[in-house]
Amino acid sequence: METAWIARMMTRELATLRGDIEALPDEASLWATPPGISNSIGTLALHLAGNLQHFVGTVLGNTGYRRQRDLEFSRRGVPRAELLAEVDRAAAVVAKVLTTGPIDLGADYPEAVGGGYRVVTGDWLIHLATHLAYHVGQAGYLRRLLTGPGATPVPAIGIGALVTARKIG
């Protein structure tokens, strides 16, 4: 049950990232980095998709995905359609792995993380979810910076979108 909740939060964030990518006016905007901004929306999308496909897909789901982390930060000019496909693949692997198999949240995560740390799986999944949300927030602000005040809004996904949300009063 808990991993299904984590999966829903992650796929919700990935849907928001997808909306930010779709709302950009052109392909060049995907790779723009205004002064003081080090990662473009395209870079953030590649990083988040690779991160989840590795840590959830490969490590927990044995998908065989091979992460190339350096390319997540060095590739440029990847077409919007390809970025969206990567985000969709990450969402699909998160949904499948975290909702179909038993995952012991109290067990050690099967791989050392962050330069040689051992953590329990539940801590790591929450870390991955908050890492995702942090970078999706960055992408949203960057999109607004690049497109200006008249841009197409991307709606935030509110509390009512939670599966367990019930309107009261």
pLDDT in tens, 26-49: 999 999 999 999 999 999 999 999
Answer whether residue 169 is part of any domain. Answer: no
Domain membership flag for residue 106: yes
Q: Is 115 left (phi over 0), alpha (psi -120 to 50) or beta?
A: left
pLDDT for residue 35 = 94
Neighbour count for residue 20 (Cβ, 10 Å): 24
Which residue, among 101, 107, 45, 35, has the nearest Cα to 76 in the 3D structure? 45
139 within domain boundaries: yes
Residue 167 lies in a domain: no
Over residues 63-115, the pLDDT tens digits come to: 999 999 999 999 999 999 999 999 999 999 999 999 998 899 999 999 999 99
What b/e sequence results for 34-64 when a residue is b if at least 16 CB atoms lie within 10 Å of its CB, and e otherwise? eeeeebbbbbbbbbbbbbbbbbbbbbbbebe
The answer to the question of residue 168 being in a domain is no
* CATH code for the domain in which residue 63 is found: 1.20.120.450
What pLDDT is attached to residue 166? Answer: 86
pTM > 0.85: yes or no: yes
Whether 89 is in a domain gets the answer: yes
Q: Examine residue 19 and state whether it is found in any structural domain, yes or no.
A: yes
Q: How many domains does the chain have?
A: 1
* Domain ranges, residue 85: 2-161
Q: Which pLDDT band, with edges at 50, 70 and 90, does 1 fall under?
A: low
Q: Does residue 166 lie within any of the structural domains?
A: no
